[in-house]
Amino acid sequence: MEADLLKRINSLISLISDNDELLTKHEKEKKELVEKLEWLEEDVSELQKKLKKKTEELEEGRVSQAQLLQQIDADKLEILKQKQQLEESENDKKLLLEKVNVFEEKINELKENLSSCSKVDEGKDSYEKLLQQIELKETQLLAEKKKTKNVFDAYKRLKSQYKFLCAKAGLTEENMLPQIKLEDESASLMHQQNPTTSPDFVSRHPDTATAACEIKKVKIENDASDLFEEDKVVKSIPTPSFHSPTSGYIAPKCFLLQNLLLLLVQSGLHLVG
C-alpha cells in the first residue's frame, strides 16, 4: 500500500511538473502574442498612416482604395483573433492553476495517509512487544506458582513426618500444653543461657528439660511453616506429665526429635531452593 501511494505521489509530482512546463510555455506564448499585438498595433498605426496617405492619394487620385480597405479589414480580423487567443490563454492559465491546487491537495492527503500508515505500524509493534511482556510475566507467574507448590508439598511432608515422630515419641494430645509463641531472640537467648540444655541438668531434671526441648521443637516447626502463606499452622507445645513414670525417657526422645526436625527442615529448604 505504501509503495502504491509513493507511485501515485511520484506520478502526481510528474504531472504537476508537466503542468508547470505547459504553464510556462503558455506564458511564453502569451508574451509573444502580446508582443505580436504590440507589433500589430504599430502596424495598424502605420497602416492608418498609410491609409491616411492613401486617402490623401485617393483624394488626389483615388488610387487603390478598395485594396487598402481590404487590407485594413484583414488586419482588424487578425487583431481580433489575437485578442481571442489571449483570452483563451488566460482561461487556460486559470484552469491550470486550479488543477495545480487540486493536485497539491491530493498530495497532502496522500502524505497524511502515509503518516497514518506509519502510526498504525508503530502501534502494531507496540502491541507485539506488550504481548511478549505478557507471555514473559505469565511464564514467571507459573514458575512462582510451581515454586510455591513445591514449598507447600515439602511442608506437608515435614508435617507428616513430625506427626509420625510425635506418635513414635509417645506425645499425644493428652500431654500437650496450649500454644506458646516465642520470638527468635528470646528463643536463642533461652537456648544459650538456660542451663536446662545441658546433659547434667537433663539427668537431674528430666521433666523440666523435656518442656524446654518441646518449646524449641515448636519454634522449629513454626519456622518451617512460615516458608509459605497458604497454610500457616501453629503447633501446640507438648509437655510431660510431672507424675508420669516415663518422664525420664522423654528428654532423650525430645533431643532426638529436635535433631530430626532440624534435618527435615534443612532438607526441605534445600529441595525447594
Q: Say yes or no to pLDDT of 254 above 70.
A: no
Q: In 3D, which of 253, 66, 80 has the Cα closest to residue 170?
A: 253
What CATH number has the domain bearing residue 59? 1.10.287
Reported residue count of the chain is 273
Would residue 35 count as lying in a domain? yes
Q: Mean of the pLDDT values across residues 84-107?
A: 87
Handedness of CA 254, 257, 263, 268 (dihedral sign): negative
- Report long-range pairs for 258-267 (Cβ below 8 Å, ≥24 apart): 258/213, 258/216, 258/217, 258/220, 260/161, 260/165, 261/158, 261/162, 261/165, 261/217, 261/220, 261/221, 261/224, 262/220, 264/157, 264/158, 264/161, 264/162, 264/224, 265/158, 265/220, 265/223, 265/224
Which of 128, 153, 180 is the last residue before a domain boundary? 128
Q: Say yes or no to pLDDT of 87 above 60.
A: yes
- For residue 215, the tally of other CB atoms under 10 A from its CB is 19
The gap from C-alpha 221 to its chain's centroid, in whole angstroms, comes to 47
Gyration radius of the chain over CA positions: 57
Whether residues 112 and 7 fall in one domain: yes
Q: Mean of the pLDDT values across residues 80-89?
A: 86
Total count of domains within the chain: 2
pLDDT of residue 251: 41
Q: In 3D, which of 154, 200, 211 has the Cα closest to residue 177?
A: 211
Q: Say yes or no to pLDDT of 102 above 70.
A: yes
Share of the chain above pLDDT 70, in %: 58
pLDDT in tens, 126-140: 888 888 888 888 888
> In this structure, what C-alpha cell is assigned to residue 235?
503447633
Whether residues 81 and 180 fall in one domain: no
The Cα-based distances of 74 to 40, 48, 109, 269 in angstroms read 12, 13, 53, 119
Q: Say yes or no to pLDDT of 22 above 50.
A: yes
pLDDT of residue 13: 82
Tell me the C-alpha distance between 162 and 256, whole Å: 12
Share of the chain above pLDDT 90, in %: 0
Q: Say yes or no to pLDDT of 193 above 50.
A: no
Q: Give 63's pLDDT tier (boundaries 50, 70, 90).
A: low
Whether residues 262 and 152 fall in one domain: yes
Tell me the C-alpha distance between 1 and 121, whole Å: 12
For the chain, what is the mean pLDDT?
69
Whether residues 52 and 84 fall in one domain: yes
Whether residues 186 and 248 fall in one domain: yes
Whether residues 76 and 105 fall in one domain: yes
pLDDT of residue 214: 47
pLDDT in tens, 137-186: 888 889 888 888 888 888 888 888 888 887 777 766 665 544 334 444 44
pLDDT of residue 258: 56
Rounded to the nearest 10 degrees, the angle between the axes of helix 65-169 and helix 247-272 is 160
Grid cell 532423650 in the structure block, residue: 252
What range does the domain containing 104 cover?
Answer: 2-128
Q: In 3D, which of 154, 184, 256, 185 has the Cα closest to residue 214?
A: 256
Q: Give 209's pLDDT tier (boundaries 50, 70, 90).
A: very low
Q: Say yes or no to pLDDT of 2 above 50.
A: yes
Would residue 175 count as lying in a domain? yes
